[in-house]
Structure 1
């Protein structure tokens, strides 16, 4: 696995939501943001936030170090006549999400997922797609972020249950999304032909949660405790088809 980009080392202690705030503060105040009193105020605000529950507190020196890193970047760009780097810090002044993911729950013997949106980071959760096996996993945390020259935003993901050797850069647009939802017996009517599901695929070599589309549904008689419906799905990554019971499928959240 490749290591995080060196230029982003001072982002590690902060969530993306906090980085967004500091980006905006630096844009407004410039080198005035280096003052100790100001950094203490920012650190105290972050540490007292409900979004940092369960995480270590932020110190004023960490905040100051972040602003110093921004100032250093600015000076390098100003005085160093070299080609532009492949990565740059994105201006997320109006982000679609704020990264502060937590999880640790288990679902059907496999990984559950956690996603956090700017509107309500306490109730939602992220799942991220690994390039290694095209499967979706829990997001334990987002370590840092970067913007490619193409304008695509990527985040460095720590998968739940894995150490930093398995961290991956993933594309936010294609490989990070709101958590899929286990389907209760009373909710099977919400699943229809053509729907995208997250399905538990078992083979001789591995067992993973992968994307699949519903090809056909054989409805069965059941109650709110047990569902006998059979869902024929076609996996997106290999086009194989398999009939599954309700216990092996998760639906996408309602739009």
Structure 2
């Protein structure tokens, strides 16, 4: 077991010593944990003219450095393996059939089943159907990003998006008979129709004015508050997509 003094002594290594140990670990990996190997390396470091006036290095300090390096590499490998599995899982879904965005998204539920995921663009905070996942990368903080192509757009609009915060299952349009599935407080994807742009944005339902109607048409009024700017608007059911039940 390494004592507390050894932990504190890690800062005693010079930059040259750290670089040498890094290279040795890359070359022989876990063999660097061998006590004899660590002892020989510590002795050579301590006898070096570069350590004049500095404390000697113990074999425990050297071994601790390699143990930390081993843990770091294992963590990176596990993170990359999980990221690759998630990317493969996402890419394995049938998300290859492009559809026209915005108004054509109001097509039948059967048409939309071809698209399994939606992603949020950093350009306008709107959600778009994913045509395909192109690549993935793991950031230095361990977070996973995927490069997506949005349905109906060309490669010039491809974006890197965070898997945890900006990729999710596709939202589901509602039939007139399904208005009862929407309740106050629900997160919904709402069609934002403005003079110069039309987007699908996250919103929360803050009020509902229920009306009597048949299965052919819903006349209920839903008051929503958009998450990106906190503006409120009265919308009809046809402008709302519900989030999948998980």
| TM-score, normalised with respect to structure 2 | 0.61
1:242 is aligned to 2:233:
yes
Aligned pair partner of 1:109 in 103, 114, 124: 103
- Cα separation, partners in 2 of 1:108 and 1:147, compared to 1, 3 Å: closer
The structure whose residues are more often helix, as a share, is 2
- Cα separation, partners in 2 of 1:234 and 1:131, compared to 1, 3 Å: same
Task: Find the counterpart in structure 1 of residue 90 from structure 2.
Answer: 98
- List alignment gaps of at least 5 residues for structure 2: 1-24, 28-71, 108-112
Aligned pair partner of 2:145 in 149, 154, 159: 154
- Please show how residues 8-157 of structure 1 align to structure 2 within 5 Å: 78=26, 90-92=80-82, 95=86, 97-100=89-92, 101-106=95-100, 109-111=103-105, 125-157=116-148
- List alignment gaps of at least 5 residues for structure 1: 1-76, 114-121
Aligned CA-pair RMSD? 2.9
Deviation at 1:124, TM superposition (A): 6.3
Aligned pair partner of 1:174 in 141, 165, 183: 165
Task: Find the counterpart in structure 2 of residue 67 from structure 1.
Answer: none
Equivalences, count: 166
Question: What SS class does the counterpart of residue 81 from structure 2 fall into?
Answer: coil
Aligned pair partner of 1:190 in 153, 159, 181: 181
Deviation at 1:98, TM superposition (A): 2.8
Deviation at 1:123, TM superposition (A): 6.6
Give a deviation string over 1:96-144, Cα, whole Å, max 9, x none: 943242232457714479xxxxxxxx97600000000000011111110
Divergent runs of 4+, >2 A: 92-98, 100-108, 110-113
Deviation at 1:165, TM superposition (A): 1.0
Deviation at 1:248, TM superposition (A): 0.5
- Cα separation, partners in 2 of 1:139 and 1:233, compared to 1, 3 Å: same
Give a deviation string over 1:66-112, Cα, whole Å, max 9, x none: xxxxxxxxxxx946xxxx9xx99811276494324223245771447
Contact 1:106 1:112 in 2 (8 A): no
Task: Find the counterpart in structure 2 of residue 117 from structure 1.
Answer: none
Deviation at 1:164, TM superposition (A): 1.1
Question: What SS class does the counterpart of residue 91 from structure 1 fall into?
Answer: helix
Structure 2: distance between partners of 1:133 and 1:212: 14
Deviation at 1:238, TM superposition (A): 0.5
| TM-score, normalised with respect to structure 1 | 0.59
Larger Rg: 2
Aligned pair partner of 2:209 in 215, 218, 235: 218
Question: What SS class does the counterpart of residue 179 from structure 2 fall into?
Answer: helix
